[in-house]
Amino acid sequence: MRRRAITVIVALLVLAPLLGLIPSTWTWNPRLFDTLTTTVSMIGVLTLLNHLIGYITGKAIAFRTGRPIRYMELLISLPLFLPVLLLSFGLYLTWIRLGLADQFIGVLLVLLLPTLPYTIRIYTNAFQALGEQMMEQMVLIEPSRFKRFLFLTGPMMRSAIQSVTLLVTVIALSQYALVILIGGGVVQMIALEAFPLYSGNSLVAAKEATIWLLVLPLLIYFVQLILLEGWVQVVRRLLDGRYDSARQ
């Protein structure tokens, strides 16, 4: 009974504020729409990089032992505990020297700071949950590294892959200060258009921006859900009892 009451309270507190986002009139702000190309490509590349680096690093932190890896773990989690925005003042000067300022790639590199530590953490936990014995078993079953990932490791890490993409998307969408500083206003992500709308007077325009900010992560999340579901289906069909020792 008490449990149910708490669930209801949580649901109300979480969902009620979102009711204000239901659009009453359909507006279409072309300036917001124009930033979508940069926003989506930035998030796409950033997510891919996060998965790639997160996977190999998370594996190392989960399965390697010794002092060096513990120090690396601490160094990797530094951006979670330090003011990334303040550190980017110095980085910006460096980026100017390297020719990375006001460039897509410069913003991409800086956006790794607030996202990558979370990604690595999620992958580390996923590998720890799988466990070393399980990984060793998989090597015995399937010697090919590519096939092992396709059939076993990948599908087993579904929830980790989903959480990483969601976190990276939401964090990257929200970065206004970092993107305007490093991107110099040239790299147009959606936050740059949305932010002035919030401090303006038009609640309708601000609402539309917020809907974009909420719909983008949801869209990306569901596209990925369908892709992962398809992956698992394909794996099931391909395996189809191939490793079943009972079927001679």
Partner 1 sequence: MWRGNAWPATLLITGMVGYGLFVSLSMTTWGDYSRLFVDPVFLESIGISLYVAVSSTVLSVLVGAWLAGFFAKQTGWTTQFLAVPLFLPHLGAAYLAILYLSDFPVVGPHEGNQFSIILTYLYKEIPFVFFYLLPVYRRLDHRYEELGLMLGLSRMKRFWHGKGVFLLFPVLEAAFIVFAFTLFAYEVPALLGVTYPKLIGVYTFDLYTQGDLSRQPEAFAISVLLTGILFLLLLIFTRMIRPLTERISKGRVE
* Residue 152 binding partner 1, by CB under 8 A: no
* Residue 74 binding partner 1, by CB under 8 A: yes
Q: Quote the CA–CA distance of 195 and 186 in Å, as a whole number.
A: 15
C-beta of residue 106 within 8 angstroms of C-beta of residue 159? no
* Residue 223 binding partner 1, by CB under 8 A: no
Of 29, 36, 45, 79, the one binding partner 1 (CB under 8 A) is 79
Contact segment (CB under 8 A) with partner 1 among 23-31, 36-44, 57-65, 227-235 equals: 57-65
* Residue 14 binding partner 1, by CB under 8 A: yes
Contact segment (CB under 8 A) with partner 1 among 25-33, 112-120, 228-236, 240-248 equals: 112-120
* Residue 120 binding partner 1, by CB under 8 A: yes
* Residue 104 binding partner 1, by CB under 8 A: no
* Residue 106 binding partner 1, by CB under 8 A: no
* Residue 143 binding partner 1, by CB under 8 A: no
* Residue 135 binding partner 1, by CB under 8 A: yes
Of 29, 40, 45, 63, the one binding partner 1 (CB under 8 A) is 63
* Residue 18 binding partner 1, by CB under 8 A: yes
Contact segment (CB under 8 A) with partner 1 among 25-33, 35-43, 69-77, 227-235 equals: 69-77
* Residue 139 binding partner 1, by CB under 8 A: yes
Of 47, 182, 207, 228, the one binding partner 1 (CB under 8 A) is 207
* Binding-site size, partner 1 (CB under 8 A): 84
Of 107, 113, 130, 189, the one binding partner 1 (CB under 8 A) is 113
**Residue with smaller CB distance to partner 1, 74 or 234:** 74
C-beta of residue 189 within 8 angstroms of C-beta of residue 11? no
Assign 3-class secondary structure to 80-105.
HHCCHHHHHHHHHHHHHHHCCCCCHH
Asked whether the CA dihedral 139, 144, 146, 151 is positive or negative, the reply is negative
